[in-house]
């Protein structure tokens, strides 16, 4: 799984809707630069009102940095609207938020949906559960009005968790899945499919720009692409199958030596994951090559290694996508440096990887449902 706002950029047309994401990162990394967004945040850092500009659909929310892990954005559910912070996740297909009837510790630390306060709420008796890599939830399906900025989906099916495990210390309320419908645990129509089918967006695409350190402006955009978020041309990669956002990777190299994916492999492009994940034995080999040593649940290296280690290159559809050490090595709250490679726990007969935020901070990504492909380009 697993997520600031760019002020002053306007959409190319009224059909492009940009939804600001809040980057969850270290508190010590604060906004820099002299611009309107910083001034706004200094004046009212926790206000959740929307800002719009004449002639555009751009919706802006203030940025709040917590930990360098997730990107989250605001949506509302119900009438009158109740606001939630969710992860916009290409690795899952369900939308859910906590229910007021959930008494789990995880729910108690998050905003919970008060269904009795919504005049457009419609309950069902259908139950479901979802298992994630870092937690799980049990819930019920309901229907209500969901808003993502200026996009409105009436009578939208979504999940209400009645039990949650593993999310108590996570700084998000729920998850908004953007993967294909067939992967939905609840079997409810995902919000993107519903918006697409109803013609609420002009093109069946959405795109992510995930900002780098010391830059504000992460966004997810629906219905089109703003070319000012990337350099050069988008390189289109066909999906392996039109069932999820997985693409074929030719090989993974370092110093011109193949270190993984020697016979080709699959990789899920996942905005809901913080790391680059792969098979345990291959991840262990990468950790050994870069000199990382285990400590607890992470692998650590000398911070000076950022200046001397080589890039790890993912070759996708014949195009090289380097991930330099400054991207795959991060610093924790104590000032120690750790790697962002992690074992992929789901076992498959074929080699598979997950390209999470470590990769997506470097490369602007376009998810094209109309042509079942992903576009990648160097992020600005």
Token pair, residue 176, equals 């908004």
Helix (H) or strand (E) holding 146: strand 136-148
Residue 371 is classified by DSSP as T
Q: Is 9 exposed, middle or buried (0-12, 13-18, 19+ CB in 10 A)?
A: middle
Rounded CA gap, 73 and 85, in Å? 5
For 76, residues 6+ apart whose C-beta sits below 8 A from its C-beta are 82, 83, 84, 146, 147
Q: Name the percent of the chain in helix, strand, coil, to the closest 5.
A: 15, 40, 45
Radius of gyration over alpha carbons of the chain, in Å? Answer: 20
CA distance linking residue 354 with residue 92, whole number of Å:
13
Hey, which residues are catalytic here?
A: 89, 270
Alpha carbon distance 111, 374 (integer Å): 33
100, exposed or middle or buried, with CB in 10 Å at 0-12, 13-18, 19+?
middle
- Residue 187: left (phi > 0), alpha (psi -120 to 50), or beta? left
> Among candidates 130, 6, 136, which has minimal Cα distance to 62?
6
Calpha distance 80→78 (Å, rounded): 6
- Residue 238 burial (CB < 10 Å; 0-12/13-18/19+)? middle
Chain CA centroid to CA 275, Å: 11
């Amino acid at each position: 799984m697993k997520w600031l706002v760019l002020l002053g950029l306007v959409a190319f047309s009224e059909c492009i809707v940009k939804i600001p994401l809040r980057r969850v990162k270290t508190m010590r990394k604060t906004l820099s630069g002299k611009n309107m967004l910083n001034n706004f945040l200094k004046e009212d850092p926790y206000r959740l009102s929307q800002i719009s500009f004449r002639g555009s659909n751009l919706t802006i929310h203030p940025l709040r940095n917590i930990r360098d892990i997730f990107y989250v954005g605001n949506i509302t559910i119900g009438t009158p609207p109740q606001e939630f912070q969710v992860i916009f996740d290409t690795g899952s297909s369900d939308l859910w938020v906590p229910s007021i009837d959930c008494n789990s510790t995880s729910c108690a630390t998050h905003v919970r949906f008060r269904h009795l306060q919504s005049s457009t709420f419609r309950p069902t008796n259908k139950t479901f559960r979802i298992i994630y890599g870092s937690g799980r939830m049990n819930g019920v399906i309901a229907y209500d009005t969901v808003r993502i900025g200026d996009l409105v989906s009436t009578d939208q099916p979504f999940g209400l968790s009645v039990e949650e495990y593993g999310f108590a210390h996570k700084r998000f309320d729920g998850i908004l899945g953007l993967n294909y419908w067939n992967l939905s645990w609840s079997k409810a129509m995902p919000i993107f499919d519903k918006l697409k089918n109803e013609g609420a967006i002009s093109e069946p695409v959405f795109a992510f720009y995930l900002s780098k350190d010391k830059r504000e402006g992460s966004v997810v955009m629906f219905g089109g692409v703003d070319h000012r978020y990337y350099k050069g041309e988008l390189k289109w990669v066909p999906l392996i199958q039109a069932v999820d956002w997985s693409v074929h990777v030719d090989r993974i190299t370092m110093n011109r030596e193949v270190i993984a994916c020697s016979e080709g492999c699959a990789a899920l492009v996942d905005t809901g994951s913080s790391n680059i994940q792969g098979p345990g034995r291959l991840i262990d080999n990468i950790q050994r090559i870069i000199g990382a040593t285990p400590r607890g649940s992470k692998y650590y290296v000398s911070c000076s290694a950022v200046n001397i280690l080589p890039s790890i290159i993912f070759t996708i559809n014949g195009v090289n996508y380097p991930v330099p050490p400054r991207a795959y090595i991060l610093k924790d709250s104590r000032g120690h440096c750790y790697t962002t490679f992690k074992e992929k726990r789901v076992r498959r007969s074929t080699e598979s990887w997950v390209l999470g935020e470590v990769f997506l901070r470097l490369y602007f990504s376009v998810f094209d449902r109309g042509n079942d492909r992903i576009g990648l380009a160097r992020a600005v």
